[in-house]
Amino acid sequence: MISIKYIFKTFLCVLALFVFMVSAGAEEPAPGTISMTLGDSAYTFNNNMVSCIETLDNGNKRITIGLSDREQKVELMITIDCSAKAITGEQHLNTTYNNIMIMFKSSKGNFVVIPPVRMAKSESINYIEKNSRKGKRKFRKRKARWHGMRRGERLASGKGIIRHGQMKDKTFSMVLVPVVENGSVTELKGTFSGLVRAGKNNFQRGQYINIKNGKFHVEVAR
Amino acid sequence: MKGIIKNISSFVLVCTLCLFSANLYAFWDNAHKNSAEDAISYMETEGSNQQRWVVDYLKAKTGGRDSGGTGLNPNNGDGTQYGLIGIARAGAVAPDYCQDLFWDDTTSWGWDVSIPGYGSTNFSSFTHFMNLLKTNDDGKTLKTNVYNDYDGWSYNGSFGCPGMGIDYAIASYMNNAWMTIDLANCSDCSGKYSFIPDGNPAVDYKQNGSTTVLGSAHSSKKVGSDDKTNYNCFSDCVTPNNCPDTGSKISGNSVPQIPNTGTESFWSGDWSKSNQDWVIFEPLDNAATFYYNEWFLEGGTSRSSSLDTGAVSGRYYSASSSDINYLTLVMHYAGDANTQHHIWVTSGYNHSDYEEWIDNAYGGRTLGGDNSGKNLEDYSTIKGYINSRSNQVDAGLDDIITENGFLTYLSRYRSGYDTLSNTDGTTRKNTATYAVNHAIATIVMLYEKGVLDLRENR
């Protein structure tokens, strides 16, 4: 008689095999490839992109992946800001919590997605405050009162935040996997997806379009 | 039945959204208009004898207070407005509705950057900034006096430069776009709307110390694509196009600031160098001075980037109703000089939300009303602000506007007045109240100055 334990183990093996087969079916793109489905349109770009990593003033890194395809009449740019420490590891990013941007231009339509909310830098400004004591007026510099506030507090109070209201119904997410050789990032691989508004006409709010099955594998310029 | 209701509901929602989006980008139209009207009302009721006389002169020239004269069409759908109040309100918004900066982008060309779901920015508005910054958001030194004493909007000099914001998005989107530098002869620039008959707009009025645009105009769009013209590369964002680089850097500082005059191109393999410059727009004080000197005072008889008093002679008597229109255009820049975002040179950092707030508050005020949430103007405060200015009506117009710009720049440092970093109503009301009253003060001074300058050379 076949035991329940045996059936359960068999089920787990079959499940593992299924997952392996599905994963194996999601092929990694060849180097120099970016592909995605935008609405009903499928795009594949080969060997016409550039990727580079800059060091910003504050020590953070800016990763840029850009391409210009004259035949398909498309320009695409993805930019990611991250810490120098994070750049050599896998990152799961989205416009809600991270500084990433996608810009897409084509003859069929255009869109840009940037973070809908950013936290203002409290160290970048000191305010002048007037105090009156015992009939004397004194002015002093002090840090912003939202300095040290948590994200939730800032969002609720409207203090220390930078909003882009037009972005609140759009989103862009990606998984970034760097290939590291001798401590330097030499290639970038990953996936991306999102929900955007795209269209062509002035003042048109555009229609919602899904970004699906986005994949990339690019070399980093040195 | 349910399906029909759902379809109707969807249709109504779409229509509502379309309407909303069209109104969302009216800048702060109503606030501009109201400040110009409040300035005239102040001069009539609280002004000095000289200011009251100035208003009488202007009414006589424009055919009346609320009607008469040849009027002014601000190109915003309002139609031609008549009388002193009509053209004052029209002129206060008209520069936002010029179509006189034409960009040839790689995928489109036209008068604005229009990204569905993001919005639309008229390129003419990029000459409505003045960069008084010394450092950027990261605290790094900026080089901002590249072409003028104070430059206008420039991506690399903008406050939003280091971050992932609207400035970066626009710059990335436009990237290697080229601008038309000979608008008069551009045969492929349909829809041009300029208040300057058959001429270039304020672009390069005093930029580079010259009235001649740098570089040669190419193609039917007359674009400036040559190296060392400051209108051939919108940004230094890295994409494989004509201006992908980070540019040259100030010695000892990592911030790319100097227009790149290197000779290498992207495709030579080094993406960090390029032979392209990045765009630096003319500042708002230059644009205001252009309309004031060359068109209001001189009637378009010269384009010398300075005041030619000989050209002014006699215009005190001969100026027509339509000539007064040029004076009203100047008041738009007086308004913009009081918006923190226009002095901290960013299209982002809560810029459009703040201007929308002002339009709903002060923009919705009733003249002479006492709604504390909308009537932000206070004539006693305005009188105090006028008296407090170092530059009075005998100073140069650009000095008056620049001084106002500095007051706006410094206002951000007052506790409770930082609209770039805060979206709460208290901060916005504090800042808007300060801005509205200073804007009205400046407009009063400029109307008075305009008539006195004509009279001085009568």
**Per-residue model confidence as pLDDT tens digits over B32-84:** 999 999 999 999 999 999 999 999 999 999 999 999 999 999 999 999 999 99
Question: A4-18, B124-138, B139-153: which range is least confident on average?
Answer: A4-18
Task: Please state the φ and ψ torsions of residue B275, each to the nearest 5 degrees.
Answer: -105, 20
- Which amino acid makes up residue B437? N
CA–CA separation, B31 and B365 (whole Å): 9
pLDDT at B241: 47
Q: Residues of B numbered 335-364 whose beta carbons fall under 8 angstroms of chain A's beta carbons: which are they?
A: 348-350, 352-353
Q: Residues of B numbered 276-315 whose beta carbons fall under 8 angstroms of chain A's beta carbons: which are they?
A: none
- The average pLDDT across A19-47 equals 78
Residue B277's pLDDT band (cuts 50, 70, 90): low
**In chain A, pLDDT over 90 holds for what percent of residues?**
45
Q: Residues of A numbered 41-100 whose beta carbons fall under 8 angstroms of chain B's beta carbons: which are they?
A: 48-50, 52, 54-58, 64, 66-68, 73, 75, 77, 79, 81, 99-100
pLDDT at A66: 87
pLDDT at B318: 95
pLDDT at A107: 83
- The average pLDDT across A32-47 equals 93
pLDDT, tens digit, 9 for 90 and up, residues B293-329: 999 999 988 878 788 888 899 999 999 999 999 999 9
- The average pLDDT across A35-48 equals 92
Q: Residues of B numbered 99-128 whose beta carbons fall under 8 angstroms of chain A's beta carbons: which are they?
A: 106-108, 112, 114-120
Measured between CA atoms, how close is A27 to chain B, in angstroms? 27
Minimal Cβ distance to A165: which of B136, B255, B353: B353
**In chain B, pLDDT over 70 holds for what percent of residues?**
80
In contact, A176 and A91? CB cutoff 8 Å: yes
Q: Give yes or no for B134 touching A (CB within 8 A).
A: no
- The average pLDDT across A91-109 equals 92
Minimal Cβ distance to A129: which of B348, B415, B423: B415
A175 beta partners: A92, A191
- The average pLDDT across B354-359 equals 94
Name the 3-class secondary structure at B373.
Answer: coil
Q: Please indicate whether, in this complex, the C-beta atoms of A54 and B115 are within 8 angstroms of each other.
A: no
Chain B residues in contact with A198 by the CB 8 A cut-off are 116-117
pLDDT exceeds 50 at position B19: no
pLDDT exceeds 60 at position B5: no
pLDDT, tens digit, 9 for 90 and up, residues A43-66: 999 988 888 887 777 788 889 898
Chain B residues in contact with A101 by the CB 8 A cut-off are 164, 168-169, 172
pLDDT at B239: 53
In contact, B134 and B112? CB cutoff 8 Å: no
- The average pLDDT across A120-143 equals 83
Minimal Cβ distance to B164: which of A101, A198, A203: A101
- The average pLDDT across B237-246 equals 49
For residues B380 and B135, which has the higher predicted lDDT (pLDDT)? B380
CA–CA separation, B388 and B406 (whole Å): 14
Task: Please state the φ and ψ torsions of residue B87, each to the nearest 5 degrees.
Answer: -75, -25
Q: Which helix (H) or strand (E) holds A34?
A: strand A33-38
The pair of three-digit structure tokens given for residue B298, joined into one six-digit string: 């001189």
pLDDT exceeds 50 at position A16: no
Best of A164, A168, A170, A208 to substitute, by most chain B Cβ atoms within 10 angstroms, is: A164
Mean pLDDT over the full length of chain B: 83
| 0.80 exceeded by pTM | yes
Q: Residues of A numbered 102-121 whose beta carbons fall under 8 angstroms of chain B's beta carbons: which are they?
A: 103, 105-107, 109-112, 114-115, 118, 120-121
Minimal Cβ distance to B240: which of A67, A115, A159: A67
Residue A85's pLDDT band (cuts 50, 70, 90): very high
